[in-house]
A and B are shown apart, each in its own frame.
Chain A
Amino acid sequence: MSPCIDDDIPPEIDASSESDLKLNRRDFLTASAIVSATLVTGIATAEAPSPTTPSLLPLTLSINKQIHTLTVDTRTTLLDLLRETLDLTGSKKGCDHGQCGACTVLLDGRRINSCLTLAVAAQGSEITTIEGLGTPGNLSPMQQSFLEHDGFQCGYCTPGQICSATALLDEVKRNEFSVVSFNTGHTANPNINDDEIRERMSGNICRCGAYPNIVAAVRALTGGIHGTGGQV
């Protein structure tokens, strides 16, 4: 699925009744997903005759400190479960292949790609999504920092960026390294300068190119030494 889903709106939508046109974007996406699912099932039957029966499993997940008891198709990724079943649509689907970071959530406090994580494999872990970091009236420090430093443009990658940056702070507190720490000979005590921030945030792609302000938002909370040639 591409983030520019609006490009894929089929022509018949334009011919819908006025009440259909009042469908909000969420309803439209849900409806599209049902159509897509039907198509995918058809393809699966044609290409791979066996097995065709989905394998269903009961599942208990703790998400943002709330327990959810569900039955899922084993194929369901954590990302799809969050978005399509639990209506936690903050986590975004960009590439769906672990290459863009828009789906980043925290699993037991560590950042992961929820698009490559099976929901069934996440059982037993505490999952934190952007919805669990803060609320509109009570933003987390990293959410507040992104707001103050204008660390976004279209906002699509932002939930993943903020989840990723939140985990980054914990990694720095645990004195974890990046390859920059090794390349610069700072493995005893990494200086979290802009080169370090860029490397540590490199799992999150921003199509709008808001990187300078994202780095600024993270820098404000790492208290790091400012950049080695890359300072904004």
Chain B
Amino acid sequence: MNPFTYQRPSAPEAALHAIELSNSKFLGGGTNLIDLMKDRVETPTALIDINHIGLDQITSTAGSTTIGASVRNSDLANHPAIVANYPLLSHALLSGASPQLRNMATTAGNLLQRTRCPYFMDTAFPACNKRQPGSGCAAIQGFNRTHAILGATNEGSANPYTCIATNPSDMNVALYALNATVELHSSKGKRTILARDFHRLPGQTPHVDTILAPDELIVAVTLPAAKFAKNSWYLKVRDRQSYAFALVSVAAGLELDGQAIKSAGLALGGVAPKPWRSLEAEHALTGQPATSETFARAASILLNGAKPFPQNVFKVELAKQSVIRALTLAAKGAQA
């Protein structure tokens, strides 16, 4: 690790003041940031610890639930209001990492964990557009079994800035399906944006994972009124049964009226630089009977434009079948 200064402010305003120094970063649980600093992939010169600025509460109002930025993943997953009203989020959170890491990792930190792949993590590989834009992508011609099939790949090697890493968060996939919003503060003002607009695709700037400005702080994530409390499922398919990133994951929520689908939330993890959600696929479910034919149609739409690499061709069919299975289990209400 390179040397860095450490500060522990006690209020958001002090944290926002401190972040205005260049090359400083907020420290949440540190499960991703400290790891990347050890490998010198991240090299901040100042860390601002935001675990003691009063953003550790979960509050429910009549219509929505607001989660403070530094609420730990394990506390969020086990919170009675989340388990009762947003079981999809608990199910996703508990599918990720390990009990130790979930006790450390925060809500905002999980949103901000880097989209990454083994080549990004290892500075011995000089070619990584995410570490060094324009240096190339070692994964395209290398081991790409776990990499993206959507969102990063359409331009292929024609784009000198291509990055085919995936975002490994499970929480983010559920937040997309639940239509969550993220509240951002800076010393200049506040803004609220949809979680699905918070992360960005690599385009020509693959080193930038989110729309967060350098001087902005995530203060909360808000979940709108619960619609999928009775019918949701998080399905994670991976190489080992636990403590591994997804090859493919699905967050599925259904609002049912009898056997008819009133509304749906659907997102894929492990297949793109950000959770993959298609409003068109959700519209294809809305107003339709909750049958395997309906689910298969939505799965096909969601995987539209998929472009796999030689080692991850399997992900296209795996993702389609996983979507069908997750929606089937959600419709059964198997979780409650």
Contacts and interface: CB of A to CB of B under 8 A. Distances in A.
Interface of A: 44, 47-48, 50-55, 57, 73-75, 77, 96-98, 101, 104, 107, 110-113, 116-118, 120-121, 123-124, 164, 167-168, 171, 174, 176-179, 181-182, 185, 187, 198-200, 202-204
A55 B99 contact: no
A112 B104 contact: yes
Nearest to B46: A55
Contacts of B38: 96-97
B78 A176 contact: yes
Given A52-B3, A74-B5, A104-B100, A121 B31 contact: no
Contact of B100 (A50, A75, A111): A111
B143 interface: no
Contacts of A107: 103
Contact of A74 (B3, B83, B98, B236): B3
A185 B336 contact: yes
A198 B241 CA distance: 10
A200 B99 contact: yes
B20 to A, nearest CB: 18
Contacts of A113: 31, 100-101, 104
A47 B43 CA distance: 11
A187 B335 contact: yes
B94 interface: yes
B100 A164 contact: yes
Given A182-B335, A187-B336, A111 B103 contact: yes
B193 interface: no
6 contacts: A97-B35, A101-B98, A121-B49, A177-B90, A179-B91, A199-B242
A176 B74 contact: yes
Given A202-B98, A202-B243, A203-B243, A118 B83 contact: no
A203 B90 contact: no
The 10 closest A-B pairs by CB, nearest first: A203-B98, A202-B242, A179-B94, A74-B6, A182-B91, A75-B1, A202-B243, A110-B103, A203-B100, A55-B5
Contacts of A168: 99
Nearest to A205: B243
B87 interface: yes
B324 to A, nearest CB: 17
A98 B4 contact: no
B85 to A, nearest CB: 13
A213 B3 CA distance: 43
A120 B90 CA distance: 30
A200 B78 CA distance: 14
Given A121-B27, A185-B335, A112 B3 contact: no
Contacts of A198: 241-242
A44 B3 CA distance: 9
A189 to B, nearest CB: 12
A48 B99 contact: no
Contacts of A57: 6
B106 interface: no
A203 B104 CA distance: 13
B331 to A, nearest CB: 14
B281 to A, nearest CB: 24
A167 B99 contact: yes
Given A54-B3, A98-B101, A47 B335 contact: no
Nearest to A201: B99
Interface hub of B29, B95, B97, B100 (most chain A Cβ within 10 A): B100
Given A116-B35, A121-B6, A198-B242, 4 more contacts: A48-B40, A118-B47, A121-B30, A185-B336
Contacts of A74: 3-6, 47
Contact of A98 (B35, B43, B90): B35
Nearest to A188: B336
B101 A203 contact: yes
A181 B99 CA distance: 14
Contacts of A202: 98-99, 241-243
Contacts of B3: 51-55, 73-75
B83 A177 contact: yes
Contacts of B236: 179
Nearest to B1: A75
Given A75-B1, A182-B90, A116 B104 contact: yes
A107 B40 CA distance: 27
A120 B6 contact: yes
A164 B43 contact: no
Contacts of A112: 100, 103-104
A51 B78 contact: no
A215 to B, nearest CB: 13
